[in-house]
Amino acid sequence: MNRRSFLMGTAAAAAACTRGPRLNIFNWSDYVAPDTISSFEREFGIRVRYGTYESIPEMLAKAMTGNSGWDVIFPSAEYIQPMRNMGLLAPLRHDWLPNLNALDDQFQHPPWDPDLAWSVPYMHGTTGIIFQQNLGWTPRAWSDLWDSRLTGKLTMLDDPPEVFAACLKTLGHSLNSADPGELKAAEQRAIAQKPLVRAYLNAEVRDQLVAGDVGVAQAWAVTAAQAMAAAPGRLAFAFPEEGFPRYADNVAVLRESSRIEAAHHFISYLLRPRVAAAIVETTRTATCNGAAHSLLPEALRNDPVLFPSREILARGEWFAPQSANSQRLRDRLWTEIKT
């Protein structure tokens, strides 16, 4: 075989591989319904590659290479500004997103992206305390998680912003605090709590709650809702009195992408009320799509854990981006807590 025929053969093979338009979507796991992607593929004739990640650092590591191959990503709200500053995001074209008004009004001009120029809110949530009804008493505030009666029965999230948030709130500070004094005090609280903590668990705590191994847990509302659905009547959820974190995951397009238009088709597709409602019925997460919310079955629509009242939500505080120095300090303190 000579070089010419080899090159032509390779070119032919490469061309065959790229038949038809494609779109590469990188999302959190468990965030779409089983038929969301396939329906999108059928309707638009675009072949989708769907990958998932479990943490923001994982997604960032790929995105920061500038050459990852992904088109659509789902960053959390507090990362939109930093990613914009790093030049990672492509600006959104609203003329390609006709149904933006399907979003709930509190998400039309969110604090992290008031003009929705870079992202579209997708799902949101809160963090609170989930506990067994048979505990004998009702935890109502973060400071209840330092009660020595909970030794060995308590789990906290394995997530630095969340643990800091709980500690800062018990001290009466903002959970986005960048003040070294406040952060160090929060660190001391976390270290003081360690002997009571059974383990630092994220979503895995759900099964332990259902099985009864864990008495009280700092948990995302989503996890709590799933656990409560699996063990009806045995578990309860509390939105801490001192205040609690709010987070939102958004859809965005990577600047490196060469399929901007297809990406917009997908975002627009996700904004369709029926599509969003179908996703929520599978994932049981709180959608930012107001029109979809009204299409949900009543039990889900009025779930107090997933969709709490405005009064409760007013006590919540959005995670905000940290300055580089504050981030450095927080990360260093987290290492000390965990070590």
Contacts to another protein by CB under 8 A: 24, 29-30, 34, 49-55, 57-58, 60-61, 64-65, 67-70, 79, 82, 86, 152, 155, 158-160, 194, 197-208, 210-213, 230, 324, 327-328, 331-332, 334-336, 338-339
| Number of neighbours of residue 204 by Cβ within 10 angstroms | 11
Q: How far is the CB of 190 from another protein (least distance, A)?
A: 13
Output the six-digit token pair for 222: 């989503």
Q: How far is the CB of 273 from another protein (least distance, A)?
A: 26
Q: How far is the CB of 244 from another protein (least distance, A)?
A: 21
- The distance of Cα 106 from the centroid of its chain, to the nearest Å, equals 17
Q: How far is the CB of 287 from another protein (least distance, A)?
A: 18
CB 49 within 8 A of CB 18: no
Q: How far is the CB of 114 from another protein (least distance, A)?
A: 22
User: Which region, left, alpha or beta, applies to residue 164 given φ > 0 means left and ψ of -120 to 50 means alpha?
Assistant: alpha
Tell how strand 47-53 and strand 22-28 pair up: parallel
The values of phi and psi at residue 100, to 5°, are -65, -25
Q: What is the DSSP letter of 149?
A: G
The values of phi and psi at residue 314, to 5°, are -65, -25
- The 3-state DSSP class for residue 33 equals coil
- Amino acid 309 reads S
Query: Looking at beta carbons only, is 24 or 126 nearer to another protein?
Result: 24
Q: How far is the CB of 131 from another protein (least distance, A)?
A: 17
Question: What distance in Å separates the CA atoms of residue 293 and residue 307, rounded to the nearest whole number?
Answer: 9
**Residue 324, Cβ density class (10 Å: 0-12 exposed, 13-18 middle, ≥19 buried):** exposed
Query: Looking at beta carbons only, is 44 or 334 nearer to another protein?
Result: 334
Q: How far is the CB of 101 from another protein (least distance, A)?
A: 32
Query: Looking at beta carbons only, is 24 or 119 nearer to another protein?
Result: 24
Q: Tell me how far CA of residue 84 lies from CA of 61, 259, 294, in angstroms.
A: 15, 19, 33
Question: What distance in Å separates the CA atoms of residue 187 and residue 193, rounded to the nearest whole number?
Answer: 10
Q: How far is the CB of 294 from another protein (least distance, A)?
A: 28
Query: Looking at beta carbons only, is 121 or 321 nearer to another protein?
Result: 321
Torsion over CA: 133, 138, 144, 147 (sign) = negative
Query: Looking at beta carbons only, is 56 or 291 nearer to another protein?
Result: 56
Query: Looking at beta carbons only, is 29 or 101 nearer to another protein?
Result: 29
Tell how strand 244-253 and strand 216-220 pair up: unpaired
Query: Looking at beta carbons only, is 29 or 302 nearer to another protein?
Result: 29
* Nearest residue to 251 via CA among 66, 100, 122, 81: 122
CB 76 within 8 A of CB 319: yes
Query: Looking at beta carbons only, is 213 or 241 nearer to another protein?
Result: 213
Q: How far is the CB of 223 from another protein (least distance, A)?
A: 8
